[in-house]
Structure 1
Amino acid sequence: MRINLFIAILSLFLVVQVVSTESITFASIVKKLYGQSKSLKSKFDFMLKITKDIDAIKKKLEKMPRKAFLEHNTSEYILKHVPEDLQINGTDARQVLREKIDAINEGETISIKEIDDQICTRITFKSKGILDEAIEKSYKNWAKNPVDAHHLKQINLDYPTMKSKFDNWQKTFIDEMKAADVLRDEIKAYFNGANSIFKTLLNEPHNASETAEKYVDGILDGILVRHYRLIKKLESAADVLQKYNNERVIWTEFIIGMRAKLESDPKPVELKQKKKK
């Protein structure tokens, strides 16, 4: 009997814990705001995600293959077919090509992956601001307080500023990610071209010097140039996400009344005493 009573009390305690630690999300803030004013409904959905297909973008990035362009043994086997006395711009051709292959491998398996991972992390952003004790307490007080018609009016006034900033970020993000996809396709085409040239190099050793000098170095440069451009596009997209996430914390503070106006400094929201009837 005592055991059953203990279990019942423990279950009740766990329920209380779950309720009291319920996380504050951008979705819960926006939902509460819409409940306060029908005129605002759907206007602040831009606080939820940078673009509607963001989850698909994240999934695509996570599934990207991260293979080396050429494994070490393979590249060394190919380079042995490059004439030993061949030079590129006065430097040993084998060494020049080896360094470029290594740089491409590093780009494919490390550099590009790192920035892709950064984008994924920022897509799944869980704001430390929303987990901040001051914001959490202010949110709870805001949710319990009577609707502040004056502040809702201010939110409406500042809405165009918020939406304009978001629209610019969204356009940049979409454009940069589309450009990145184009570059990835171009790199893939260059890889296919490189494989074709390497086969020629191996199958026609008597033409190795001419093949290496005319095609191999150039196609490796083509890949490296596109790697550089791809990283720049991805860095730009990641930067947009960082700015968007930082601003979402500010927008949150503004909506729940910590900021009287969008540009105001944040202050705690106090719980208002209900008027006695």
Structure 2
Amino acid sequence: MNPILFVAFLSMFPLVQMDDPLTFWTIAVEHDPSEQYRFLLKITKDINTIKKKIEAIPRNNFLEQSTREHILKHVPASLKINDRDARTVLREKIVAINEMQTKTIKQIDETICNRISFKSQGILDPSIVESYKNWVKNPYDNDHLKRIRAEYPTIKSKFENWQIIFIEEMKAADELRDEINANVNASISIIKSILAEPEKASETAELYFNGILDSILKRQKKLAKRLETVADVLFKYNEERMKCIEFLIEMRNGLDSEPKIVQLVPKNQKSKSKKH
């Protein structure tokens, strides 16, 4: 950003009375003439759509217990899969699929939605509130503005990298969800075959049903891994945004320095402070 524009858009905000530094930062970025700092607001422009889609995903069991046991009754008691009782093997896999769908993946999805809706408790911290109120009353320090400009390429690169990972992992997750749904639909056809032709249940269970359950589980595990990466990226993204807020209001001299409370500059010293 042009240094003059940067100072100009910052200098608007001592006149604005706000108790929430995050609100300040959001408004400041929205008024950024060059739009170079908008990457700090959202990790992707489709964030609300993504959140709504995740929240709308069904969390039902793949097969309820009564349905599962009804199907397994048609599997011959003598059938073995990898030298194990076939009914036990199939039951374990169905239970595992249910657990992944209704608990493991659901919990990760909820974590993602919470982090997408990030409202840090850090902004309620008395030290940040005090620092912010003092900062808006203090004259701007040109040296600190230079540090902000110097850090900008690093900040931008870091946030853009997280954005790339987020978008790629969410795309891969969507593809895996589609594959899982396709396999679930295929399993329904196989189940209908078992129920319609119980005399062929042994062959169908061993050659098809067991395989489709493995396919669903495999993709569920891949999905969970992708979603965990997304959740981790969002955690880092949100944590770094708080550091940026603290850096902006001079609680930090740099992103890697320790935060400290901003002291109010006495009136008799303000004329001696650096201004732009």
Query: Which bin holds the TM-score, normalised by the shorter protein?
Result: 0.7 to 0.9
Is there any run of 5+ residues in structure 1 with no aligned partner, and where?
1-18
Q: Does the 8 Å CA contact 2:30/2:38 hold for their aligned counterparts?
A: no
User: Residues 33, 269 of structure 1: CA spacing in aligned structure 2 closer, same or farther, 3 A cutoff?
Assistant: farther
CA distance in 2, matches of 1:253, 1:33: 15
Shift of 1:34: 7.8
Superposed, which structure 2 residues align to 1:222-237 within 5 Å?
Answer: 222-237=215-230
- Residue 152 of structure 1 corresponds to 145
User: Residues 91, 46 of structure 1: CA spacing in aligned structure 2 closer, same or farther, 3 A cutoff?
Assistant: same
Shift of 1:202: 1.0
- Residue 133 of structure 2 corresponds to 140
Superposed, which structure 2 residues align to 1:208-223 within 5 Å?
Answer: 208-223=201-216
Question: What whole-Å deviation, never above 9, does each CA across 1:70-101 have from its counterpart, x for those lacking one?
Answer: 11111111111111100001100001001101
- Residue 65 of structure 1 corresponds to 58
Residues paired across the two proteins, number: 255
Give the alignment partner of residue 186 of structure 1, picking from 159, 167, 179.
179
Is structure 2 residue 199 aligned with structure 1 residue 206?
yes
1:130 match: secondary structure:
helix
Give the alignment partner of residue 97 of structure 1, picking from 83, 90, 97.
90
Give the alignment partner of residue 161 of structure 2, picking from 163, 168, 190.
168
User: Residues 67, 30 of structure 1: CA spacing in aligned structure 2 closer, same or farther, 3 A cutoff?
Assistant: closer
Shift of 1:237: 0.2
1:258 match: secondary structure:
coil
- Residue 245 of structure 2 corresponds to 252
Shift of 1:25: 4.6
Superposed, which structure 2 residues align to 1:88-127 within 5 Å?
Answer: 88-127=81-120
Is structure 2 residue 22 aligned with structure 1 residue 26?
yes
TM-score, normalised relative to structure 2 = 0.87
Q: Does the 8 Å CA contact 1:85/1:92 hold for their aligned counterparts?
A: yes
Q: Does the 8 Å CA contact 1:61/1:120 hold for their aligned counterparts?
A: yes
CA distance in 1, matches of 2:138, 2:30: 15
Q: Does the 8 Å CA contact 2:127/2:261 hold for their aligned counterparts?
A: yes
CA distance in 2, matches of 1:187, 1:34: 40
CA distance in 2, matches of 1:113, 1:102: 15
- Residue 51 of structure 1 corresponds to 44
- Residue 10 of structure 2 corresponds to none
Give the alignment partner of residue 74 of structure 2, picking from 72, 81, 105.
81
1:129 match: secondary structure:
helix
Q: Does the 8 Å CA contact 1:82/1:208 hold for their aligned counterparts?
A: yes
- Residue 4 of structure 1 corresponds to none
Shift of 1:30: 4.5
User: Residues 88, 33 of structure 1: CA spacing in aligned structure 2 closer, same or farther, 3 A cutoff?
Assistant: closer
- Residue 12 of structure 1 corresponds to none
Give the % identical residues: 56
Shift of 1:261: 2.2
Q: Does the 8 Å CA contact 1:26/1:47 hold for their aligned counterparts?
A: no
Is there any run of 5+ residues in structure 2 with no aligned partner, and where?
1-15, 272-276
Q: Does the 8 Å CA contact 2:29/2:38 hold for their aligned counterparts?
A: no
Amino acid at match of 1:28: F
Shift of 1:165: 0.6
Q: Does the 8 Å CA contact 1:254/1:262 hold for their aligned counterparts?
A: yes
Amino acid at match of 1:26: L
Is structure 2 residue 124 aligned with structure 1 residue 131?
yes
Amino acid at match of 2:27: K
User: Residues 240, 99 of structure 1: CA spacing in aligned structure 2 closer, same or farther, 3 A cutoff?
Assistant: same
CA distance in 1, matches of 2:244, 2:222: 33
Shift of 1:29: 2.1
CA distance in 2, matches of 1:124, 1:34: 18
Moved more, 82-91 or 22-31: 22-31
User: Residues 181, 235 of structure 1: CA spacing in aligned structure 2 closer, same or farther, 3 A cutoff?
Assistant: same
